[in-house]
Structure 1
Amino acid sequence: MRLNEWQLAFEAFLLDPSSAANPLLIDSLIGGPTLDVGTGLAIYHNAYHSRLLEVLRHDYPAIRYWLGDDEFDQLMTTYIRQSPSVHYSLRWLGKGVGDFVHRYLVPEQGAALAELAVLEWAFTLAFDAPAGMPLTINTMATLAPHEWPALRIKPTPSVQWLECRFNTLAVWRSVKEEADFPHSRLLDAPEVCVIWRADLVCHFRSLESAQADALNLMFNQGFTFAELCAELAVIYGEGASLLAVTWLKQWLQDGLAERLEP
């Protein structure tokens, strides 16, 4: 058996739900005085799958708490079989859990659980993202008055934006804070949640709809600060500029934004 053939046979063995190895693979190996080839391969097979489950337990603690250990392991074992690891780093193993849950379970069971998976994965993405160059209050203080109207911002690389239809954030917080686990429920209106990393710590903030709309205008619609003030003036009148400055200050203190150079 050539090396590439042996590698493919060993890969197929690891990915097979059963621990039965190809006879050619068994014949290519030599057992030891206390451990035969079949037992050694079975140990390796079980250890590999146990390691994959361990990674998913770490990435999705809220889902694990919701389902319990046994049901979580059963669900994630099915996920691994349908979406085997294809990246050299286990960091990407859980990337598709949200989509998988959405497809695999009926909507009555899976919609809220899938949204929780997306939320938990967003924290992983935020933690691993590049640092970027957040715009700070001190930097803003150096801007000349004529630079303010044309100011444009974009999200820092770690920013994740989610619109939650369920009380997913409350469910996640209850697990994080070891509080009473709330019943999942559909919200009257979607809740916008922003997740980001600052100083190696992930943070989150739930935004009321008006502030979420304003942040969306600057992040995704390319509005300048002057255009944002004009948009808000239609709703809030003379207080629009003060409200825009207040929100901008919070975004900068949180470390959410980078400046888009003119």
Structure 2
Amino acid sequence: MNTLQTLQQRLLQAVLADNTPRLRELRGDAHADAVTRLAVYRHGYRIRLRDALSTEFPGLRLMVGQRFDAMLDSYVQAHPSGHYNIRWHGAGLAAFLEFSRPWRDKPALADMARLDWAISTVFDAADEPTINAADLADIPAEAWAELCLRPQGHLQILPVTCNVDSFRRAADRQEPRPRMRSYRQPRHLLVWRQALTVHYRPLAEDERQLLNAAMREEPFTALCERLAEYHPPSKALPRMTALLRQWLEAGLIGAYRLKS
């Protein structure tokens, strides 16, 4: 490693260190001594991390309010960025809020962080092809039993304990902070992208089970059997038809194959 690389590495370590070290290579001037100049870099680095996180978590910002900056500062202190791209620094925020005091006493915070992060990562996901009803029209009736639907790879299903989707929607629309509503039992949200727009909506339990089964490449007949556990025979088929139409129109299905 040459002299310049060594100096750059030492400066990087000094910026990331918990306490401000002394660098003999760093000199003061008429405006500030060496310690002060290094402190400017250290402070600026952490401010930029916080600003990037604030952009990625608008729903969490609305939910937390005035304590948001303090929350991000504690996360930055506990989890310095380990990636050269600042965009990925927020990957661990939900887990941090789930297990760190005092944030862990409010499960809604981790749920909100997970939804914000899911929306961000789904938006950045690679483009995938989609299929529509016309693509399935020529499948023979006898082959449908072995039909395997493949949902989009970026699709995410999130468990939530409160109405975090209301907070994210209010943040996106710049509306007032909604009232928190906690659920007696965890519910689920579906997050996906259609073209350039990220969507999220509540997911009924029967639909969640079917989407998970489709991700495991279970055939269409197995999906219908699972749906029959939730609905009587007279309602199961219409429900399956409605769900399939909804999935295709929303761009949730990327491909299909006939299981051999």
Shorter-chain TM-score range? 0.7 to 0.9
Counterpart in 1 of 2:46? 49
SS at match of 2:126: coil
Give 1:196 deviation, angstroms.
0.8
Amino acid in the other structure paired with 1:6: L
Which 10-residue stretch deviates more, 115-124 or 36-45? 36-45
Give 1:36 deviation, angstroms.
6.6
Relative contact order (alpha carbons < 8 A, sep ≥ 6): 1 or 2 greater? Answer: 2
Seen in structure 2, the aligned counterparts of structure 1 residues 72 and 231 have a Cα distance that, compared at 3 Å, is closer
Deviations 1:90-147 (A, max 9, x none): 1110000001011113477331111111111111111111122222222122333333
Counterpart in 2 of 1:126? 122
The 5 A counterparts of 1:40-119 are 40-69=37-66, 71-106=67-102, 109-119=105-115
Give 1:260 deviation, angstroms.
4.1
Seen in structure 2, the aligned counterparts of structure 1 residues 149 and 16 have a Cα distance that, compared at 3 Å, is same
Matched, 1:137 2:141: no
Counterpart in 1 of 2:226? 231
Seen in structure 2, the aligned counterparts of structure 1 residues 107 and 51 have a Cα distance that, compared at 3 Å, is closer
Counterpart in 2 of 1:12? 13
SS at match of 1:23: coil
Which 5+ residue runs of structure 2 have no aligned equivalent? none
SS at match of 2:146: coil
Identity %: 27
1:135 and 1:258 in contact (8 A); partners too? yes
Counterpart in 1 of 2:185? 189
Distance 1:111 1:105 in 2: 11
Give 1:35 deviation, angstroms.
7.2
Distance 2:88 2:62 in 1: 21
Give 1:158 deviation, angstroms.
1.7
Please point out which of 183, 197, 202 is paired with 1:201: 197
**Equivalences, count:** 256
Amino acid in the other structure paired with 1:24: R
Distance 2:71 2:205 in 1: 35
Give 1:194 deviation, angstroms.
0.6
1:26 and 1:37 in contact (8 A); partners too? yes
1:165 and 1:186 in contact (8 A); partners too? yes
Distance 2:179 2:190 in 1: 23
CA RMSD across the alignment: 2.5
Which 5+ residue runs of structure 1 have no aligned equivalent? none
Distance 2:214 2:93 in 1: 31
Matched, 1:154 2:150: yes
What's the TM-score once normalised by structure 1's chain length?
0.86
Amino acid in the other structure paired with 2:61: R
What's the TM-score once normalised by structure 2's chain length?
0.86
SS at match of 1:175: helix
1:154 and 1:219 in contact (8 A); partners too? yes
2:149 and 2:256 in contact (8 A); partners too? yes
1:229 and 1:241 in contact (8 A); partners too? yes
Which 10-residue stretch deviates more, 169-178 or 81-90? 169-178
1:192 and 1:207 in contact (8 A); partners too? yes
